[in-house]
A = this chain, B = another copy of it.
């Protein structure tokens, strides 16, 4: 038996024979000089929405934290373990990224769980339930909206959660300070898995719009 799943080994072989072979100098320089990504992406764990794939990103371009439903918890320096906050601190304070992009996506399982508050926990510890409660009470409000279909509620909360995470980003004092100083930009994006449409959030209004009309020409 191999030490890693066969599909990973086979994919690794392709990487080495293809991309790494073409970009060897880039990888070596990145190893030697360290990373200097301009952008941090906070994305979902979902296997269908890898930010490097969607943004066609090469080595060294994106610093990426991925958790269920691409959430940012509010600033809470209580001495507990906070993986996402640690990643933010490293990206902003050590790497001095110039952009943070919160990227959500359609058909998100975490958002779906947040919209089903009374459902059975996945395990007694209910880590998902607790994690998605970052979105309370907005999730409850959306869930209670009988005027929208379940599909509309799902999309609505996917976008509300992006706005919530961006609001939570601003509770980190150094993020707020750097944004005010014009050194850091906070963006929202939403990816439709089926059509590959990418919607970007307007920072003034919070509305999501498709930023690249000609790409759509290509797509569809």
Contacts and interface: CB of A to CB of B under 8 A. Distances in A.
Contacts of A115: none
Given A12-B198, A152-B156, A207-B152, A47 B60 contact: yes
Nearest to A86: B131
Given A47-B62, A65-B45, A193-B31, A201 B127 contact: no
Contacts of A166: none
Q: How many copies does the complex hold?
A: 4
A39 B8 contact: yes
Interface residues of A, number: 133
Given A8-B101, A38-B7, A15 B53 contact: yes
B61 A7 contact: yes
A44 to B, nearest CB: 9
B37 A107 contact: no
Interface string A49-90: 010111111011111111110010101010111111111111
A183 interface: no
A54 B54 CA distance: 16
A93 B123 contact: yes
A196 interface: yes
Interface of A: 2-5, 7-21, 24, 27-28, 30-32, 34-35, 37-40, 45-48, 50, 52-57, 59-68, 71, 73, 75, 77, 79-91, 93-94, 98-99, 101, 106-107, 109-110, 122-128, 130-134, 138, 141-142, 145, 147-152, 156, 159-160, 173-174, 185, 187, 189, 192-196, 198, 200-203, 205-207, 209-220
Given A53-B59, A64-B66, 9 more contacts: A3-B201, A7-B61, A8-B101, A19-B56, A45-B90, A67-B87, A83-B131, A86-B128, A149-B207
Name the 8 nearest CB pairs between A and B, nearest first. A11-B56, A77-B125, A31-B194, A86-B131, A3-B200, A67-B83, A93-B122, A37-B47
